[in-house]
Amino acid sequence: MRLIALMFDAAPTTSPIPLQQSAEFEATLRHIGRTPLRLQDGRLVLRRKFGPLQVNMLTRAHCNSIPRDLNGIILIAPDSPICNLPALPLTSPATVAELDLSPGLKTLHANLKGKWRNRLRHAQSHHLRVTRKNMPTNCDHWILKAEQTQQQRLKYRHWPAALTSAFAQINTGDAKLFTAHYGSDAIAGLLVLRHGSVATYHIGHTSTAGRIVSAQTLLLWSAITWAKSKGVTRMDLGVIDTETSAGLARFKLGTGAQTRKLGGTWLWHRALSPITGLGRIDRGMMM
């Protein structure tokens, strides 16, 4: 109970805890032998060693100060824009899409963009069979293999299959797999991770047949209604990029989700303290 109280003391009660700072993510890391550190103020720190070099990572943390009791390099990726952090800015902020689930289902449906609502009707007209079940914990599940293949093809990094499987194993019932079937064929899948009052869009894959019948639209709406029924107040649809993944960005925003900027990535080390003032040159961009 003390840990939960600390977590909510460290973050505004109006801002649900992101997946990367959640107790569920912490339990998953401990399960696979990657021991994170929970600071007294509630922030979760991932620790990696590269030879003698200690690297500490605070991802999606509410962060307006440097945790000076950490040794080594500190990489900070705040959950919201900041401008007064005494550290060197590395990358500009990403943008996430978030859907407020506090309204009723009728209001959520009314808030869907017109084209998105039409695609939902299109999918429903094909009488697809949608199943919902706990994500299997085997790393060779088809949706995990499809995700790994796409990461290699598009050259991006996401969770490894073993980490996703561990989350499903240690957080029973919080990793939900929605699958659209056309006849006996699975034509689309969507994996959602629930953590506290938030559900995060984790993996989505659709076959050619699934795209033709707008299966992924039906799955996301199914995930929204499920999350709403479980008392979830926010769905985190993840990072959107209107330049390199415009179609996916439109798909997420079509739900009525709002965009929000994160805080970029910052670097801090005691040895760099004398030159962190140079970072002020770039801090305007970080906001």
pTM of the model: 0.89
Burial (0-12, 13-18, 19+ Cβ within 10 Å), 269: middle
Stretch 108-112: mean pLDDT, rounded? Answer: 98
Over residues 223-242, mean pLDDT: 96
Name the pairing type of β-strands 73-78 and 265-268.
antiparallel
Residue 241: pLDDT over 50:
yes
- Tell me which architecture the domain covering 96-261 has in CATH: 3-Layer(aba) Sandwich (3.40)
Would you state the structure tokens that stand for residue 108, as one six-digit string?
Answer: 């959520």
Q: Output the pLDDT for position 68.
A: 78
- Mean pLDDT confidence for 137-149: 93
pLDDT at 63 over 90: no
What are the residue ranges spanned by the domains of the chain? 2-94+262-286, 96-261
Per mean pLDDT, which range of 32-36, 83-87, 91-95 is the poorest? 83-87
The string of DSSP codes covering 59-99 is EEE--SS--TT--SEEEEEESS--S--SSEEEEPPPEEEEE
Q: What is the mean pLDDT of residues 86-94?
A: 88
pLDDT at 3: 39
